[in-house]
DNA sequence: GAGTCGTGGTT
DNA sequence: TAACCAAGACT
């Protein structure tokens, strides 16, 4: 089985001329990156951070914003962000609070702090240029195993195993017949890396293609197997699309610290939007009635640096 | 490895 | 409608 995959990977893109690739009668499961890439060239979305003129900073900003966040919700904040801060230097020149405010309601506002810190690091350590090595990218705040490789592939067109939840799902389904919904692992990256085209540019395109395929066709909830553009080779479909045996733990929300933190920060952020730089502590009581939890969450926001204590009030950092 | 960290649209 | 969940990172 493994040797079959290697053979496919060694000749990823057949020549445009000549007869179509003969489909082997029974090759077992295969990822089929060439077919996925052909589908992508025709059906992939035109997203602003995919524009040829979008540089590495644009890719980095988009990837951080897209962490656990749908594309549709990112589009507007991304546009405003890039217009205001077209370079890491521009963002680094402003206080972190400006980034938190501009983050708006994207969620996980610590990402805004990390992106601001990453911009500062890029300015200080890399002369304002987003680094192009894995180790240097991983050293940036908010950049993990996925995002680092996404920048390498999508911005610098390098051969890197970009495995997010979408890619992980496609790999698991087609090659292993599973759909466990678990996050990507190093083993997933190793598996994909062995299947990527040898050429950097082609590997980069294939990486974008498989991610898009997972986002649009081989989706988590309702995969459109009936219109799957790929020929046979999906072990998941062949085995009756088995569902996950281990149900994912439902994430609690009502009454959690996350909800309270969100309300607290929203009060200060909304005030900043109205030009009010500070919020007196009593004004935060409306966020949550229970004082112990409210205070605990306020302290955690201060500890994170999302808020700063200023006498009897709080404000966004640097405002 | 399991917990934590936002938000709002979808089913 | 309550549950689900969408391009992860960090501790």
Beta bridge mates, A308: A315
- Residue whose CA lies closest to nucleotide B3 C1': A251
Give the DSSP letter of residue A110.
Answer: H
Q: Give the whole-angstrom CA distance, residue A258 versus residue A251.
A: 11
Nucleotide nearest to A266 (CA to C1'): B6
Q: What is the pLDDT of residue A28?
A: 87
Beta bridge mates, A313: A280, A310
Q: Give the whole-angstrom CA distance, residue A57 versus residue A65.
A: 12
Q: What is the pLDDT of residue A252?
A: 74
How far is the CA of A169 from the CAs of A111, A166, A176, in angstroms? 25, 5, 10
Residue with tokens 């730089």: A277
pLDDT at A224 over 50: yes
- Residues at the strand C interface (Cβ < 7 Å): A 47, 49-50, 62-63, 66-71, 108, 114, 141-148, 150, 164-166, 181, 183, 211-212, 214-215, 219-221, 247-248, 250-251, 253
Q: What is the pLDDT of residue A248?
A: 61
How far is the CA of A253 from the CAs of A107, A258, A293, A295, A297, in angstroms? 14, 7, 14, 18, 14
pLDDT, mean over chain A: 90
Estimate in Å the CA A72 to C1' B9 gap, whole number.
10
User: How many residues would you count in chain A?
Assistant: 319
Q: What is the pLDDT of residue A26?
A: 60
R_g of chain A, CA atoms, integer Å: 23
**Strand B nucleotides in reach of protein CB atoms, 7 A cut-off:** 3-8, 11
Q: What is the pLDDT of residue A69?
A: 97
Overall average pLDDT of the A64-82 stretch: 97
Give the DSSP letter of residue A310.
Answer: E
Q: What is the pLDDT of residue A247?
A: 58
Give the pair of three-digit tokens for residue A76. 């507007």
What is the enclosing helix (H) or strand (E) of A314?
Answer: strand A313-315
Sign of the alpha-carbon torsion through A47, A48, A51, A55: negative
pLDDT tens sequence across A256-309: 999 999 999 999 999 999 999 999 999 999 999 999 999 999 999 999 999 999
Residues of A labelled as active-site residues: 63
Residue with tokens 């610290």: A257
pLDDT tens sequence across A127-181: 999 999 999 999 999 999 999 999 999 999 999 999 999 999 999 999 999 988 8
Give the DSSP letter of residue A252.
Answer: P
Q: What is the pLDDT of residue A246?
A: 59
User: Does the domain formed by A1-248 have CATH 1.10.340.30?
Assistant: yes
The sheet with strand A279-280 has its strands ordered as A279-280, A313-315, A308-310
Estimate in Å the CA A47 to C1' C4 gap, whole number.
26
Residue with tokens 């909830």: A221
Overall average pLDDT of the A25-43 stretch: 91
Report the 3 state secondary structure along A15-46: CCCCCCCCCCCCCCCCCCHHHHHHHHHHHCCC
Estimate in Å the CA A1 to C1' B9 gap, whole number.
41
**Strand C nucleotides in reach of protein CB atoms, 7 A cut-off:** 3-10
Helical pair A96-103 and A257-273, crossing angle rounded to 10 deg: 100
Estimate in Å the CA A221 to C1' C4 gap, whole number.
10
- Residue whose CA lies closest to nucleotide C8 C1': A67
Give the DSSP letter of residue A237.
Answer: H
pLDDT at A25 over 60: no
Residue A80 CB lies within 7 Å of the nucleic strand B? no
Nucleotide nearest to A211 (CA to C1'): C7
pLDDT tens sequence across A103-128: 999 999 999 999 999 999 999 999 99
Q: What is the pLDDT of residue A245?
A: 59
| Paired sense of beta strands A308-310 and A279-280, if any | unpaired
- Residue whose CA lies closest to nucleotide B10 C1': A221
Beta bridge mates, A280: A313
Q: What is the pLDDT of residue A21?
A: 45
Domain ranges of chain A: 1-248, 257-315
pLDDT at A202 over 90: yes
Q: Which residues contact A41 (CB under 8 A, 6 or more apart)?
A: A205, A209
Q: What is the pLDDT of residue A111?
A: 98
* Banded pLDDT at A250 (limits 50, 70, 90): low
Q: Give the whole-angstrom CA distance, residue A201 versus residue A194.
A: 16
Least confident of A3-7, A219-223, A308-312: A3-7
Number of H helices, E strands in chain A: 15, 3
| pLDDT over 90 percentage in chain A | 84
Query: A203 with A194: CB under 8 angstroms?
Result: no
Query: A76 with A110: CB under 8 angstroms?
Result: no
């Amino acid at each position: 089985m493994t040797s079959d995959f290697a053979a496919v990977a060694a000749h990823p893109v057949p020549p445009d001329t000549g007869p179509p690739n003969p489909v082997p009668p029974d090759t077992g499961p295969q990822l089929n990156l060439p077919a996925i890439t052909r589908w992508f060239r025709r059906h992939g979305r035109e997203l602003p951070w995919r524009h040829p003129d979008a540089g590495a900073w644009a890719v980095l900003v988009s990837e951080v914003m897209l962490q656990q966040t749908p594309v549709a919700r990112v589009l507007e904040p991304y546009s405003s962000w890039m217009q205001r801060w077209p370079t890491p230097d521009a963002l680094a020149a402003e206080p972190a609070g400006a980034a938190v405010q501009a983050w708006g309601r994207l969620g996980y506002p610590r990402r805004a702090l990390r992106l601001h810190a990453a911009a500062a690091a890029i300015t200080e350590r890399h002369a304002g240029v987003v680094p192009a090595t894995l180790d240097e990218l991983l050293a940036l705040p908010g950049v993990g195993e996925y995002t680092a490789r996404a920048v390498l592939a999508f911005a610098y067109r390098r051969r890197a195993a970009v495995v997010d939840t979408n890619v992980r799902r496609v790999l698991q389904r087609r090659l292993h017949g599973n759909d466990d919904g678990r996050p990507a692992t190093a083993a997933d990256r190793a598996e994909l890396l062995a299947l990527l085209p040898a050429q950097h540019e082609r590997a980069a395109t294939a990486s974008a293609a498989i991610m898009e395929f997972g986002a649009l066709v081989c989706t988590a909830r309702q995969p459109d197997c009936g219109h799957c553009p790929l020929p046979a080779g999906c072990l998941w479909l062949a085995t009756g699309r088995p569902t996950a045996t281990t149900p994912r733990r439902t994430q609690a929300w009502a009454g959690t610290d996350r909800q309270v933190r969100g309300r607290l920060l929203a009060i200060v952020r909304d005030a900043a939007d109205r030009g009010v730089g500070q919020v007196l502590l009593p004004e935060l009581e409306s966020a949550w009635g229970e004082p112990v939890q409210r205070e605990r969450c306020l302290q955690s926001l201060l500890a994170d640096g999302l808020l700063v204590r200023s006498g009897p009030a709080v404000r966004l950092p640097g405002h």
